[in-house]
């Protein structure tokens, strides 16, 4: 099993220099300290610093790889892979995600819209899958996730694209965007690519609506889990995501992701190589749910969890569109008495600075400290 190599700080000290212990201890994050000295506020320090890194799929034995392949094919024949539990044979028909045995891919390209530690200087090798197993009414990517546009790829063709991204794009990683409904195809593609020379870490960029079965299939194949934990209350997820069980599923998924890969770790060039990075898109009027999510991460996942509190929400997809017309509303409009109502009007605006600050404050009060903040200087920062 791969273990990150970290510097053994105390045992490497000469006897005469044991007076350095308090200073070194103060450089260590809370989860690694044995006393209560203040922690170091640096991401690029032990134990989050790796000397080098080998992707997890490269350490799988041929027997483990064969088991993953047969499990992937079995899931495709009876798909209960995501929490929708459709139970369909995807070689013959489709379930709620409307995708069969071939993954449908909208865009494959180096991408520069991710966190600096994911995109680096050369970009993240992004694969945008068409469709999704959620139906977020505000989807910020709805032209891809709500529409079946793109090219159908076999797992082998998809794996060949990973190699092209590596060899031609010179990207830092393979970034699988919204892969929850194509996990078997993705697992087969990674195994095909590894047999043909892929050496880049795999990023699993998800809405966190994953089943434990799919995370088990991805265990040993994924290096960085990048879940977006969206809302906390079942009533909110029912209305806005069309999934009652979203938050309960996301909580279990994120705990399992962390159990597989641990906290986010970097190599010395500032590029993330393994671990968990949780996103939360602050929603207008839902900052209290964002605060609950932060408290959950600190209490149940890790206080060293790397978090990106995102501010870029904008009304999209169904939000702000006119409500369906009825005979009564038509009559009111024709007499000038009524006003055309908007769908999901409560989130038909940007988020305020106060709402963003409330989530950030809750995160800090809960003990989280590793945030994806913009650099404090003018230059590019990893
Ligand atoms: S991946 Fe698609 S077919 Fe399978 S359970 Fe989920 S929605 Fe249904």
User: What does the pLDDT look like over 157-209, one tens digit per residue?
Assistant: 999 999 999 999 999 999 999 999 999 999 999 999 999 999 999 999 999 99
Q: How far does the centroid of ligand 1 lie from the alpha carbon of residue 107, in Å?
A: 21
Distances (CA, A) of 247 to 57, 266, 316: 29, 29, 22
Q: How far does the centroid of ligand 1 lie from the alpha carbon of residue 94, in Å?
A: 8
Q: Is the dihedral of CA 249, 252, 253, 254 positive or negative?
A: positive
**Which residues approach ligand 1 with their CB closer than 6 A?**
79-82, 84-86, 88, 95-97, 133, 181
Residue minimizing CA distance to atom 6 of ligand 1: 82
Candidates 149, 382, 109; CA nearest to 267 is: 382
pLDDT digits (tens, 9 = 90+) for 108-162: 999 999 999 999 999 999 999 999 999 999 999 888 888 888 999 999 999 999 9
pLDDT digits (tens, 9 = 90+) for 220-266: 999 999 999 999 999 999 999 999 999 999 999 999 999 999 999 99
Q: How far does the centroid of ligand 1 lie from the alpha carbon of residue 260, in Å?
A: 23
Q: Give the pLDDT of residue 143.
A: 86
Within 8 A by CB and 6+ apart from 93, the residues are 100
Binding residues for [4Fe-4S] cluster: 132, 136, 139
- Asked whether residue 13 carries a pLDDT value surpassing 60, the answer given is no
Distance (Å, whole) CA 349 – CA 81: 35
Distance (Å, whole) CA 158 – CA 127: 9
Please state the atom number of ligand 1 nearest to the C-alpha of residue 98.
2
In testing the pocket of ligand 1, which one of 85, 87, 88, 97 has its CB within 8 Å of the most ligand atoms? 97
Residue minimizing CA distance to atom 3 of ligand 1: 95
The count of C-alpha atoms lying within 13 angstroms of the C-alpha of 41, restricted to the half-sphere facing its C-beta, is: 8
Q: Give the pLDDT of residue 323.
A: 84
Please state the atom number of ligand 1 nearest to the C-alpha of residue 90.
3
Q: Give the pLDDT of residue 41.
A: 61
Residue 105 phi/psi, 5-degree rounding, is: -115, 130
Residue 226 phi/psi, 5-degree rounding, is: -130, 70
Mean pLDDT, rounded, for 46-71: 96
Q: Give the pLDDT of residue 33.
A: 40
Q: How far does the centroid of ligand 1 lie from the alpha carbon of residue 182, in Å?
A: 8
Residue minimizing CA distance to atom 4 of ligand 1: 79
Candidates 209, 17, 15; CA nearest to 96 is: 209
Q: Give the pLDDT of residue 46.
A: 82
Instruction: Return the residue matching tokens 């996942």.
Output: 301
What percentage of the chain reaches a pLDDT higher than 70? 83
Please state the atom number of ligand 1 nearest to the C-alpha of residue 183.
1
Angle (CA) 122-163-147 rounded to 5° is: 85
- Asked whether residue 78 carries a pLDDT value surpassing 70, the answer given is yes
Assess contact for 192 and 222: CB atoms under 8 A: no
Q: How far does the centroid of ligand 1 lie from the alpha carbon of residue 356, in Å?
A: 34
Tally of CB atoms within 10 A around 169: 20
Q: Specify the higher pLDDT residue, 292 or 382.
A: 292
- E strand or H helix at 128: strand 124-129
Tokens of residue 3, six digits? 């273990």
Q: Give the pLDDT of residue 333.
A: 61
Distance (Å, whole) CA 212 – CA 100: 21
Rounded to the nearest integer, the mean pLDDT of the chain is 88
What is 49-314+350-371's CATH topology? TIM Barrel (3.20.20)
What confidence category does residue 210 fall into, taking pLDDT thresholds of 50, 70 and 90? very high
Q: How far does the centroid of ligand 1 lie from the alpha carbon of residue 82, in Å?
A: 5
Cis status of the peptide bond prior to 47, with omega within 30 of 0 = yes
Q: Give the pLDDT of residue 11.
A: 38
336: left (phi over 0), alpha (psi -120 to 50) or beta: left
């Amino acid at each position: 099993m791969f273990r990150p190599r970290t510097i053994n700080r105390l045992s490497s000290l000469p006897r005469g220099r044991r007076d350095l212990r308090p200073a070194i201890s103060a450089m260590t994050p809370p989860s690694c300290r044995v006393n209560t000295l203040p922690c170091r506020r640096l991401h690029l320090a032990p134990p989050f610093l790796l000397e080098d890194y080998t992707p997890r799929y490269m350490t799988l034995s041929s027997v483990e790889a064969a088991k993953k392949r047969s499990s992937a094919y079995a899931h495709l024949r009876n798909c209960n892979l995501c929490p929708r539990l459709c139970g369909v044979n995807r070689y013959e028909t489709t379930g709620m995600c409307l995708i069969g045995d071939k993954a449908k891919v909208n865009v494959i390209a180096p991408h520069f819209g991710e966190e600096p530690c994911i995109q680096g200087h050369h970009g993240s090798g992004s694969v945008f899958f068409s469709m999704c197993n959620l139906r977020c009414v505000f989807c910020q990517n709805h032209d891809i996730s709500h529409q079946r546009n793109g090219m159908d790829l076999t797992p082998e063709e998809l794996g060949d694209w990973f190699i092209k991204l590596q060899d031609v794009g010179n990207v830092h990683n393979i970034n699988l965007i919204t892969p929850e409904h194509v996990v078997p195809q993705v697992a087969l593609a990674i195994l095909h690519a590894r047999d043909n020379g892929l050496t880049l870490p795999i990023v699993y960029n998800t809405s966190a609506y994953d089943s434990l079965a799919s995370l088990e299939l991805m265990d040993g194949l994924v290096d960085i889990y990048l879940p977006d934990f969206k809302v906390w209350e079942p009533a909110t997820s029912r209305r806005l995501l069309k999934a009652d069980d979203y938050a309960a599923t996301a909580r279990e998924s994120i705990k399992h992701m962390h159990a597989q890969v641990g906290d986010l770790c970097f190599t010395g060039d500032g590029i993330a190589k393994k671990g968990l990075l949780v996103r939360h898109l602050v929603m207008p009027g839902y900052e209290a749910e964002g605060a609950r999510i932060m408290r959950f991460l600190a209490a149940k996942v890790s206080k060293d969890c790397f978090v990106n509190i995102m501010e870029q929400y904008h009304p999209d997809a169904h939000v702000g569109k006119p409500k369906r017309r009825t005979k009564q509303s038509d009559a009111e409009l024709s007499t000038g008495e009524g006003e055309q109502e908007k769908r999901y009007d409560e989130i038909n605006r940007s988020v305020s600075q106060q709402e963003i600050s409330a989530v950030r404050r809750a995160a800090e009060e809960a003990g989280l400290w590793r945030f994806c903040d913009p650099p404090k200087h003018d230059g590019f920062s990893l």
